[in-house]
Chain A
Amino acid sequence: DAGVTQSPTHLIKTRGQQVTLRCSPKSGHDTVSWYQQALGQGPQFIFQYYEEEERQRGNFPDRFSGHQFPNYSSELNVNALLLGDSALYLCASSLGGRRLHFGDGTRLSIL
C-alpha cells in the first residue's frame, strides 16, 4: 500500500520564477493538505483540498495556489518566488481531513 508520494524531492529555483510541486495521496484518502516547513520550525498550514476545491486556507499570500484532480492527486503552485519561500513543502493526505499522513516532502531552494 503506497503512502503519500511527492515529486520532485529537491528543486532549485531563482527569485521571480514559478514552481509546481506534485502529490499523490495515500490509497483511500480523499483530502490533501499542503504545509510549509522552514528549517528548525514546525509545519505551517498552506491550504487543504477536498472534492477538487480549496476547503480551507492558512495565512499565505495568493502567490500560493493549488489544484486537486479527480484522482485526488494535487499540485501546489508558487509564483514570483522569494528567498523566504525556501523550505520543505510537505503534502499530507487524509480521509475527510482527519489523521494526516505526510509525504517525504519537496526541498525547495531559492537562489
Chain B
Amino acid sequence: GENVEQHPSTLSVQEGDSAVIKCTYSDSASNYFPWYKQELGKRPQLIIDIRSNVGEKKDQRIAVTLNKTAKHFSLHITETQPEDSAVYFCAASSGGGADGLTFGKGTHLIIQP
C-alpha cells in the first residue's frame, strides 16, 4: 500500500518568514495530494490540494508543488502569521481522491512573534 513520509516533524519560523513542508509518497498510482491544517482540539481542514496533472497550485499565501518523477510534493506558506500555527498533514490517494487517503505523520508549525 501507499506510504507517505513527511518532514520536518516540527518547524519554527519567525513571523513574516516562509515555511516549507515536504512529503514523499511511494505508490506511483497516487494522483491526488491534499494538505490539511489541524489546530489543537479541532478538525482537520483542507487548505489546498493538487492533482497529478498539475505541477503547481497557488492560493494567496499558500502554494503546493508536485514532482511526480521524484514522488514528492511540498507545501509553501509565505509571509507567515501567528494564525498559521497548527499541525499540517499531507496526504495521498489514487482514484483522483475517491479512494482512502494515506496521511503523513504531521508537521507542527510554530510561528515565533
Contact A102 B97 (CB under 8 A): no
* Interface residues in chain B, defined as those with a beta carbon under 8 Å from any beta carbon in chain A: 1, 4, 6, 32, 34, 36, 42-46, 49, 89, 91, 95-106
Contact A59 B1 (CB under 8 A): yes
* C-alpha gap A82/B108 in the complex (Å): 29
Interface of A is mostly: strand
Distance of B53 from chain A, by nearest CB (Å): 14
Distance of B106 from chain A, by nearest CB (Å): 5
Selected contact of B105 from candidates A4, A41, A56, A58, CB within 8 Å: A41
Q: List 7 A-B contacts (CB under 8 A).
A: A40-B105, A41-B105, A42-B4, A42-B106, A43-B89, A43-B103, A100-B34
* Interface residues in chain A, defined as those with a beta carbon under 8 Å from any beta carbon in chain B: 4, 31, 33, 35, 40-45, 47-48, 56, 58-59, 90, 94, 96-105
Distance of B49 from chain A, by nearest CB (Å): 7
Distance of A25 from chain B, by nearest CB (Å): 14
Distance of A41 from chain B, by nearest CB (Å): 6
Contact B97 A42 (CB under 8 A): no
Contact A99 B42 (CB under 8 A): no
Selected contact of B43 from candidates A94, A96, A102, CB within 8 Å: A102
Instruction: Find the A residue at minimum CB distance from B6.
Output: A42
Contact B101 A100 (CB under 8 A): yes
Contact B46 A100 (CB under 8 A): yes
